[in-house]
Amino acid sequence: MLIQALLVALVLGIFKMEWIFGWPQICRPIVISTAVGLVLGDPVQGVIIGSVLELMFIGSFPIGAAVSPDYGSAGAICTAFAIISNGGTAVASALAVPIALLGGFIFIGCKLMASFFSRLMSAQIEKNNMSAVSRIYLFGAWFVSFVPYFIYGFLSIYFGSTAVEALVKKLPTVVINGLSSATNLLPAIGLALLLQMTISKKMAPFFFIGFMMAAYLGMSTIAVTLFAVMFALIMISNKNDQAKVAQTVGGDDNEF
Amino acid sequence: MSSKITKQDLNKVFRRYLALNALNDYPGQMHNGYTFSMIPIIKKVYKDKEQQVAAMKRHMEYFNITPNIAGFALGISAAMEEKNAEDPEFNEDNINAVKTALMGPLSAIGDTLFPATLRILATSIVIGMASDGNVFAPILFLLLYNIPNFLARYYSLHYGYNMGADFLVKVEKSGIMDKASYVCSVVGLMAIGAMVAFTVKVTTPITIGDAKAGGLVLQKSLDSIMPKMLSLIVVGIVYWLLSKKVKIVPLLIGTLVVGAILFALGIIG
């Protein structure tokens, strides 16, 4: 268990350093779950669990000051729990909620620690010591991204795995099967959250067109997406034409 | 006399700017990273110690823009710091005023483009592969997201520097913001629609009468009206609950519990 806990903790800690390297989205469950699957010897199950967790958390991403559930910790830790306990996606998604919430609180702690490093930077700015400012920044960035999550990952797996395994063994099959099928509903939450952010009355038909292309015509998401890009391009050039027509007709200047 | 900012200097800024939001805190969000990114410029354009300190302090003020396109702000700041070093008449307050003016519009378009549209697009393309257990799905996801991500960072910084403070005026005149956000919402919404059909897997095993003797298989009748109708309904219910201000955590737990109960009752399967 020690080795597994260390491996998962390392993956989580290192992937959390994504903020230093251009925020490449490696903490999305689809990526980090696969990586955890890889180090635990089952990348295929990793990517499958990742796809479920990804959809669960698809509507949550950190914007500004708001703190959202930590999908990265959930992706890494819950995938590890699922693989170690043989509980599959049911275990992963049932545990994802508490693990992600605790991760969200840890994130608040990280930001508070960042304030401390910020004060150290300000002190060096007064002395005009630029290389010290840079060093403090990089050390602080590494510290707040790697250390708390490494500890979180390690403690969860080292102390939690046995409990999760025991729980999975005790749970009646009805509950496990029920949870598994309920897991299939979870993407609805992520997608509804996304909808809330993007939909407006005027734009709503596009959502339904996308849905109908997939449902009635059986088109894959890739196909729908590519059609969508073309639709949007046509619509924009139509808009431009209309604007030009209006201009040549010589409408009221105040309109523009 | 100060020296001119070269492409190499901007590339130094670029490498630091990758870590722009690595040390966010509550008082100033990305202010630490902004100062860290501006240091090569400050070192280059100011020879006077007082001026260097003043410039660093200036950038320790609050800053928050979607990091993927925050390069515009950094580039503009670089151009303005350069001007400030050359021209004693230059009003230093303008540097932060422009930064502040950029935050709203740039974040609006940036949040739509990157975390909301591009990420959803990349996810929608690979999610089918992923749920089939194809380990190349995450690699494809990373490529789809990151090629535009790094290009946007690089070019936003260089464009920002070349355009300088007129940037906002030019962009607003061209109307490109409106067009980009329109394309994003069309593509994003259609991708979400398709994902609803493919990823919310819910069917009902309910039959009325004996199926073999010509009874009604509910799922079949539903499919003949609209396949995946139940998926759309579930998303509709969750959407409605969200608009009724139900919090996400109760919603997640509630969905698991209600889903398990409906399964046990044989209503969904």
pLDDT tens-digit readout, A84-123 = 998 888 889 888 888 988 898 899 899 899 999 999 999 9
Chain A residues 92-131 with CB within 8 Å of chain B: 93-94, 97, 101, 111-112, 114-115, 117-118, 121-122, 125-126, 128, 130
Asked whether B126 and B140 are in contact (CB, 8 A), the reply is yes
Chain A residues 218-247 with CB within 8 Å of chain B: 219-222, 224-225, 227-229, 231-233, 235-236, 239
> Exposed/middle/buried for A147, CB within 10 Å: 0-12, 13-18, 19+?
middle
* % pLDDT > 90, chain B: 49
**pLDDT tens figures, B183-228:** 888 988 999 999 999 888 888 888 887 767 777 888 888 888 999 9
Q: What ipTM describes this predicted complex?
A: 0.85
Count CA within 13 A, CB hemisphere, residue B86. 9
Chain A: give the shortest CA distance to residue B250, in Å. Answer: 10
Which residues in chain B touch residue A43, judged by CB atoms under 8 angstroms apart? 135
- Structural domain boundaries in chain A: 2-186, 199-249
Chain A: give the shortest CA distance to residue B93, in Å. Answer: 19
- Let me know the angle formed at the C-alpha of B87 by B9 and B4, rounded to the nearest 5 degrees: 20
Is A155's Cβ below 8 Å from some Cβ in B?
Answer: no
- Let me know the angle formed at the C-alpha of B265 by B264 and B269, rounded to the nearest 5 degrees: 65
Specify the pTM: 0.86
Put simply, the answer to whether B258 touches A118 (Cβ < 8 Å) is no
* % pLDDT > 70, chain A: 90
Put simply, the answer to whether A48 touches B197 (Cβ < 8 Å) is no
Put simply, the answer to whether A235 touches B182 (Cβ < 8 Å) is yes
* % pLDDT > 90, chain A: 53
What is the pLDDT tens value at each position of chain B, 269 positions in all? 456 889 999 999 999 999 999 999 888 889 999 999 999 999 999 999 999 999 999 999 999 999 999 999 999 999 999 989 988 888 888 899 888 888 888 888 888 888 888 998 899 889 889 989 999 999 999 999 999 999 999 999 999 999 886 776 777 777 777 788 888 889 889 999 999 998 888 888 888 877 677 778 888 888 889 999 999 999 999 999 989 988 777 888 888 889 889 988 888 87
Is A72's Cβ below 8 Å from some Cβ in B?
Answer: no
Asked whether B150 and B114 are in contact (CB, 8 A), the reply is no
Q: Of all helices (H) and strands (E), which one includes residue B216? A: strand B216-217
- Nearest residue of chain A to residue B248 (CA atoms): A189
The per-residue pLDDT for A168 is 81
Which residues in chain B touch residue A221, judged by CB atoms under 8 angstroms apart? 124-125, 127-128, 191, 194-195, 198
